Amino acid sequence: MKRIISILLILSPLFVSAQHLPDSLRTAHVHAGNDSARYMTSKYLYDYYEELNKDSAFYYAQQCLQLAKRNNEILAEAIYMDNTAYQLIGMGKYAEALQYVLDVFKIVEDPKNERLNSWMLFSRPFNGSNRLLVLSYTHHMFAILMRETQNTEQEIFHYKEARRIASEIGYPVRQMLAAMNLGRSFTTVNKLDSALMYEKEAEQMTENSPYKKYLGQVYYSLGNIYFEKNNLPLALDYYHKGIVISEKENNLIGLANSYFFLSKYFLANRQKDSALFYSMQCLQTIKQVGIVRWYKVNLGTAYENVYLSYKLINQKDSLLKYEELTLITTDSLYNERIKNLTAFQAATLSEQLRLQQVEKEKIAYENNVRMYILIAGIAVLLLLAFIFYRNNRQKEKTNKTLQKTLTDLKSTQAQLIQSEKMASLGELTAGIAHEIQNPLNFVNNFSDVNKELLEELRAERLKPKAERDELTEEEIINDVIANEEKINHHGKRADGIVKGMLQHSRSNTGEKEPTDINKLADEYLRLSYHGMRSKDNNFNADIETRFDDTVGNINVVPQDIGRVLLNLYNNAFYAVNEKAKQQTAGYKPEVSIKTKKINGKIEMVVSDNGNGIPQNIVDKIFQPFFTTKPTGSGTGLGLSLSYDIVKAHGGEIIVAGKEGDGTEFIIQLPDK
C-alpha cells in the first residue's frame, strides 16, 4: 500500500481527471499511514471532484482543512479554507463563504506566515512566495463571491488583484484563471473589447500550457463574446470546442455551461431540434453534478431552456411539464437565494444594497414568466393564478426583509459616521495634549525651583542676624521674581492654546464666521503631527508651511474646515510613515501645506511624498466606506465627510499626484 501512496503522490495533476483514479485514491486514502499522506490523497480527490460534484469536493476540502489545522500547516489551512469557500459559493451559502475568505486574508496578509508550510498547496510546482500565491488565490475567491452576489465593481477589482499578484510572482495558471474570469466580468457589463482582450489572453496561456482543466470555460466565454458581437459562426465554433475539451477534462461544470450557452444560441436562431438536444444535455449534466446553484446557469435556467425548446417545437404536453418545473424550481432557488443573500448582507455592509437589484431582477423575471404563460393559452390560467398568489406572498415577505435591512443599514451608517467624528476628536485631543504639555512643564519646573529657592530663603532668615547674607537673600528674591515671570509667561501660553481651541470648537452651530485660514491650517497641522507622534515616538517628518499673507479671513465653519484639514494631514502623515517603514534608501518623509488666493478663490494644498494613490482607485477615494488602509485602521468615511463639508461650503476638493510619487489634495473655497 505504501507503494500505491508513493505513486499517487508523484502523479502529475494531469492524470487526476482519469476515470479510474477515484477508487485508487480512496483506497490509498483509507490506508494512508500518516497525516501528510492522507492530506495528499484528500487533495487529489478534491482536485478530481472540484468541478465534478460539489458535495464530494466539499467533503475532501474539509478533510484537507482539518489535517492542515492539526499539523499547523498554516498556508495549507488557508488554501483549503479558500477551497471550502469556493464550494460554499457553489451551494449558495454566501455568508459562510465570506467568513472563510476573510479569515484567509488575515493569514496571507501577515508576512510572518510566509514559510509556515511544508505541504503541497497546488498541483503544479512553484518555487516562489507561497503566501503571495495563496493571496492571489484568495482575491480570486473573493471576486467569485462578489460575482455571485452581483457586486460587479468589487468583482473586477479583485480579479485584477489576483491577476496582478500572479503575474508578479510568475505563476501563469492563476494569471490565466483571473484573465478568464475578467473576460466574463466585462462581458456582463457589455464592455466587449475589454472582455475579448482578457479572454484571448486566457486562451493563449491555456493552449500553451499542459493545464487545460478550465479551457472549456475559456471557449464558451469567447463564444458568448462573439455572440454579443453578432459573429455567429465564430460563436458556434467556440461553443462546440468548449464541449469537446470539457468532456476530455471531465469538467462537468464547464460542460454544463457549454451546453447551456449552445442551447441559448440555437433558441435565439430558432433551430428547434438542436436547441432541444443541447438543453436536455445541459439539464442531465447539471443533475449529474448535484445540487448546483451558481449564478445564471442552474437547474431552473436549464429547465427553462428545455421549456423554451418544446415551445419552439409546439409540443404542448412536454411544454407544460417543463414550464411547471421551471416555475417551481426557479421559485425554490430564488427563495433560497434571497435567504442566502440576506445572511450574506448581515455579514458585510456593502452587500445589503444589492437586495434592491435582486428584487428588480425578480420582478423582471416574473414579467417574462407571465408573458410566456399568457402565450401558452387558457389551459394554464389556473396554474398561473396559483403561482401569482404564492409569488405575491413571497414578494410581501421579501419587501419586509428589505425594509428592515435598509433600516439597519441607515443605523449602521450613522454609527460609523459618529465613530469617524470620535476618531477625529481623538486626534485633536492627542495634539492639544502635546501642545499644552510644553508650557505646563515649564510652569511645573519653575514652580519646583521657586519652592526650593523659598526654602533656601527661609533657612537664611532663620540664621542669627550676624550670620545672614543679605546679598544671597537678594539674589534668591530676584530669582523667585524672574521665575514667577516665566511661570506667568508660560501660563499665558497654555491659556492661549486652550482659548484658541475653544474658539474653534465652541457650540457647533454650523454657522460660518470670519476665520484666519492660515492660522487654522497651521494649528491643525501641529495638532495632527503631535497626535501622530503621541502614537509612535519614532515617527518624524519634515513639515513645510507656505502661507499667503493676502488670504486673510474668510467665512467658514471653522470646526468643519478644521476637521477636513485634520483628516488630510492624518492621511499624509500615515502615507509618509508607511513609505518610511519600507526603508527606501535616501527617503525623507515630507508633508507641506500652502495657501494662496487665486481667481477669486482661496486655495489650500496639502502635499506629501508618500507612495501615492494608484490610478485605478482615484475615482473611488471619496466614496463612503472605501479605504486602502488595512482592516481596522480606518472606516473609509474620512474623505467622504471631507468632500461633503467642502461641497457644503460651495468649494471643491481635488486629488492629484501619481502612484509612487506622493499625493496632493487641493481645497478651493470661495473668497467671501
172-188 vs 130-148: helix crossing angle, rounded to 10: 20
| Pairing verdict, β 542-546 and 590-598 | parallel
List the Cα angle 118/119/120 in 5-degree steps. 125
d(CA 58, CA 73): 19
Lowest mean pLDDT among 319-323, 558-562, 616-620: 319-323
d(CA 360, CA 399): 11
Cβ contact 347:99 at 8 Å: yes
Query: Is pLDDT at 382 greater than 70 in this prediction?
Result: yes
The three cell numbers locating residue 281: 444535455
- Say what the pTM is: 0.47
* pLDDT given for residue 426 in this prediction: 55
Q: What is the pLDDT of residue 135?
A: 93
The percent of residues above 70 in pLDDT, for the chain, comes to 80
- Report the largest interatomic distance among the alpha carbons of the chain, rounded to a whole angstrom: 133
pLDDT at 422 over 90: no
152's enclosing H/E stretch is helix 152-169
Judged by DSSP in three states, 17 sits in coil
Cα(467)–Cα(464) distance, integer angstroms: 5
For residue 540, the surrounding DSSP H or E stretch is none
Q: How confident is the model at residue 362 (pLDDT cuts 50, 70, 90)?
A: low
Distant-in-sequence, close-in-space partners of 138: CB < 8 Å, separation ≥ 6: 78, 82, 101, 104, 105, 108
> 482-490: long-range contacts (C-beta < 8 A, 24 or more apart)?
483/446, 483/449, 483/450, 483/453, 484/446, 484/450, 486/442, 486/446, 487/442, 487/443, 487/446, 487/447, 487/450, 490/439, 490/440, 490/442, 490/443, 490/446
Q: What is the DSSP string of 607-670?
A: EE-SS---GGGGGGTTSTT---SPTTS--S-HHHHHHHHHHHTT-EEEEEE-TTS-EEEEEEEE
What are the tens digits of pLDDT across the range 639-666? 888 898 999 999 999 998 778 889 999 9
Distance CA 548, CA 521 (A): 12
Grid cell locating 82: 479558500
Cα–Cα dist 518/12, whole Å: 69
Secondary structure of residue 556 in the 3-state scheme: strand
Asked whether residue 545 carries a pLDDT value surpassing 60, the answer given is yes
The CA distance from 495 to 442, in Å, is 14
Residue count (the chain): 672
Band the pLDDT of 630: cuts 50, 70, 90. Answer: confident
* Averaged pLDDT score across all residues of the chain: 80
Alpha helices (H) in 470-548, listed in sequence order? 470-505, 517-535
358 pLDDT more than 50: no
Phi and psi at residue 637, to the nearest 5°: -105, -15
Least confident stretch, 77-86, 181-190, 317-326, 412-421: 412-421
- What pLDDT shows up at residue 556? 92
Model pLDDT for residues 227-264, shown as the tens digit of each residue:
999 999 999 999 999 999 989 888 888 898 899 999 98
pLDDT of residue 12: 39
CA distances to 77, 120, 391, 658 from 69, in Å? 6, 14, 45, 43
At 122 the three-state DSSP class reads coil
Q: What gap in Å lies between CA 239 and CA 258, rounded to an integer?
A: 6
For position 603, what pLDDT does the model report?
94
Residues 6+ apart with CB under 8 A from 506: none
**Which residue, 16, 242, 227, 201, is CA-closest to 120?**
16
Q: Which residues pair with 305 in a beta bridge?
A: none
Element (H, E) at 292: none
